[in-house]
């Protein structure tokens, strides 16, 4: 028989966003039902952030072995035990999984239903043999790899981030379709592990990022041997005796690319089609569910967060979750801020941005300015042999920080400082007054801030004032 549940909140999706809402609400003693049709932890834990960063960490160690001779340490070409590498990735995932498990959330008081959710009407969801009539619903169904409409793709074997970590051998030659974050992260990692890697994209690589910063990252990838074919159209794909062949075309004419394996990293598609959103009066399209600044859908009972609402990152999903819990439980105003959400690409060098880019700021503010400071002027970067890098800070009137970008080692760690600065409407004056430890990469940002005020040293009125003050002894 169908069982009817009437919780305060029904969360659809057990990924980063949904779990954050469920745990947050349950902590206050609120009745919560969580529906998840697949693995708890969602894409981030099982196929995305966690396994990919574990792979990147392994690749970083391999590259450190290659470069050890630069530091006077005898070493050679690293030997990759791919079976052990994959076992370590699985162990990392398994170590985190209990935190996201059904058992843990049940212990928190959340009723977990392992089934597919579907809206029956504006206030009811069906899941397995249950009907859920909650006061509020939160859709957090995440996204899946988008598969481009390339002729012949359906006839060949290919990998996505959901199957890549099931690969039992190290690819000989990996062709990657997509020169965005996922494509380039995996390309860089496999190249360092010894795989020949070729990346193909119909647009420019890292086309959404600041061009000056992107160039530093792309130069680093090319220097390590990754081949990039930008502004290239893939006409078709076909199977070969040794793997796969891509028939491509660019300005120089047609060419073919033979590889042992093919990875599709051409973006993400939201997972909301199976929810029957029309039955609930929820407006949506192929890009996701339409929400307001408060993340509420066209159905006042329903919120959408994370990838379902156009988000792109796990930390952005957590931000959405906090806002929704704040809104539902405490009736407090909650509006998402895209300008404080960092955007990080974990290549090496890394690329991290937050707020407005230089170009966006110039289009929005007449008084926009940009200050820069290179890694080459930082002592820690020199001692560690970190190579090229750059910090850019974009400011509006009176030095208020409206954006920042970093290309270089540790960029992902450092960008949080600038997100905090934007969130709290800080100026470069605030940054120039803080004291970073020496020697650290954190000094780079302070030097950039100081450079903003350095023209004052040449100002004749300032110099005149100093001479007058000297007269007082």
Q: Which secondary structure element, helix H or strand E, spans residue 131, and what is its range? A: strand 130-132
Same-domain pairing of 432 and 308: no
Question: Does residue 52 have a known ligand-binding role?
Answer: no
Question: Does residue 183 have a known ligand-binding role?
Answer: yes
Same-domain pairing of 212 and 262: yes
pLDDT in tens, 122-137: 999 999 999 999 999 9
- Per-residue confidence of the chain (473 residues) as pLDDT tens digits? 689 999 999 999 999 999 999 999 999 999 999 999 999 999 999 999 999 999 999 999 999 999 999 999 988 899 999 999 999 999 999 999 999 999 999 999 999 999 999 999 999 999 999 999 999 999 999 999 999 999 999 999 999 999 999 999 999 999 999 999 999 999 999 999 999 999 999 999 999 999 999 999 999 999 999 999 999 999 999 999 999 999 999 988 999 999 999 999 999 999 998 999 999 999 999 889 999 999 999 999 999 999 999 998 999 999 999 999 999 999 988 788 899 999 999 999 999 999 999 999 999 988 899 999 999 999 999 999 999 999 999 999 989 999 999 999 999 999 999 999 999 999 999 999 999 999 999 999 999 999 988 776 676 766 777 777 777 76
Q: Has residue 378 been placed in a domain?
A: yes
CA–CA distance, 318 with 431 (Å, rounded to integer): 27
Same-domain pairing of 313 and 347: no
CA distances, 375 to each of 331, 381, 383, 389 (Å) = 46, 6, 11, 5
**Spatial CB neighbours of 348, under 8 Å, sequence gap ≥ 6:** 56, 60, 63, 188, 220, 409
The CATH code of the domain that includes 438 is 3.30.390.30
The CATH code of the domain that includes 121 is 3.50.50.60
Question: Does residue 454 have a known ligand-binding role?
Answer: no
Question: Does residue 263 have a known ligand-binding role?
Answer: no
Question: Does residue 143 have a known ligand-binding role?
Answer: yes
Q: Has residue 60 been placed in a domain?
A: no
Same-domain pairing of 293 and 240: no
Question: Does residue 53 have a known ligand-binding role?
Answer: yes
Same-domain pairing of 140 and 286: yes
Q: What pTM does this model have?
A: 0.93
Domain count, the chain: 3
Same-domain pairing of 19 and 129: yes
Same-domain pairing of 140 and 274: yes
Same-domain pairing of 284 and 357: no
Same-domain pairing of 9 and 130: yes
Q: How many CB atoms lie within 10 A of CB 215?
A: 16
Q: How many CB atoms lie within 10 A of CB 471?
A: 6
Same-domain pairing of 168 and 278: no
Same-domain pairing of 330 and 353: no
Q: Has residue 48 been placed in a domain?
A: no
Same-domain pairing of 356 and 223: no
Q: Has residue 327 been placed in a domain?
A: yes
252 lies in which domain range?
153-266
Q: Which secondary structure element, helix H or strand E, spans residue 402, and what is its range? A: strand 401-408
């Amino acid at each position: 028989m169908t069982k009817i549940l009437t919780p305060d909140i029904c969360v659809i999706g057990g990924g980063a966003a949904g779990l954050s809402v469920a745990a947050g609400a349950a902590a206050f003693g609120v009745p919560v039902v969580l529906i998840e049709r697949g693995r708890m932890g969602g894409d981030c834990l099982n196929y995305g952030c966690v396994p990919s960063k574990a792979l990147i960490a392994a690749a970083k160690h391999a590259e450190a072995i290659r470069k050890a001779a630069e530091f006077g340490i005898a070493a050679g070409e690293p030997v990759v035990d791919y079976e052990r590498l994959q076992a370590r990735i699985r162990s990392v995932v398994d170590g985190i999984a209990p935190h996201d498990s059904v058992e843990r959330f049940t212990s928190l008081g959340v009723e977990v239903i392992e089934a597919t959710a579907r809206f029956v009407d504006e206030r009811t969801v069906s899941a397995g043999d249950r009907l859920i009539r909650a006061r509020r619903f939160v859709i957090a169904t995440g996204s899946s790899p988008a598969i481009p409409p390339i002729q012949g793709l359906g006839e060949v074997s290919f990998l996505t981030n959901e199957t890549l970590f099931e690969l039992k051998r190290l690819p000989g030659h990996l062709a990657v379709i997509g020169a965005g974050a996922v494509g380039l992260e995996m390309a860089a990692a496999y190249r360092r592990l010894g795989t020949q890697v070729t990346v193909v994209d119909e647009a420019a690589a890292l086309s959404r990022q600041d061009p000056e910063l992107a160039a530093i990252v792309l130069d680093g990838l090319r220097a390590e041997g990754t081949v990039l074919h930008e502004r290239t159209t893939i006409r078709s794909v076909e199977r070969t005796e040794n793997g796969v062949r891509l028939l491509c075309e660019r300005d120089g004419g047609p060419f073919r690319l033979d590889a042992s394996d093919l990875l599709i990293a051409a973006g993400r598609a939201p997972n909301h089609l199976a929810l029957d959103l029309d039955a609930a009066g929820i407006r949506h399209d192929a890009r996701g569910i339409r929400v307001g600044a408060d993340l509420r859908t066209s159905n006042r009972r329903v919120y959408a967060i994370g990838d379902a609402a156009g988000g792109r990152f796990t930390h952005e999903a957590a931000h959405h979750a906090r806002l929704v819990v704040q809104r539902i439980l405490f009736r407090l105003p909650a509006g998402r801020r895209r300008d404080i959400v960092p955007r990080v690409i974990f290549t090496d060098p890394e690329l991290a941005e937050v707020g407005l880019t230089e170009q966006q700021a110039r289009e929005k503010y007449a008084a926009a300015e940009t200050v820069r400071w290179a890694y080459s002027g930082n002592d820690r970067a020199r001692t560690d042999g970190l190579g090229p890098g750059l910090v850019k800070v974009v400011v509006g009137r009176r030095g208020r920080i409206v954006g920042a970008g970093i290309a270089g080692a540790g960029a992902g760690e450092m960008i949080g400082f600038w997100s905090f600065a934007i969130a709290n409407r800080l100026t470069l004056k605030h940054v120039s007054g803080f004291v970073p430890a020496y020697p650290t990469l954190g000094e780079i940002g302070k030097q950039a801030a100081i450079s903003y005020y350095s023209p004052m040293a040449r100002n004749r009125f300032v110099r005149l004032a100093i001479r007058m003050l000297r007269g007082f002894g």
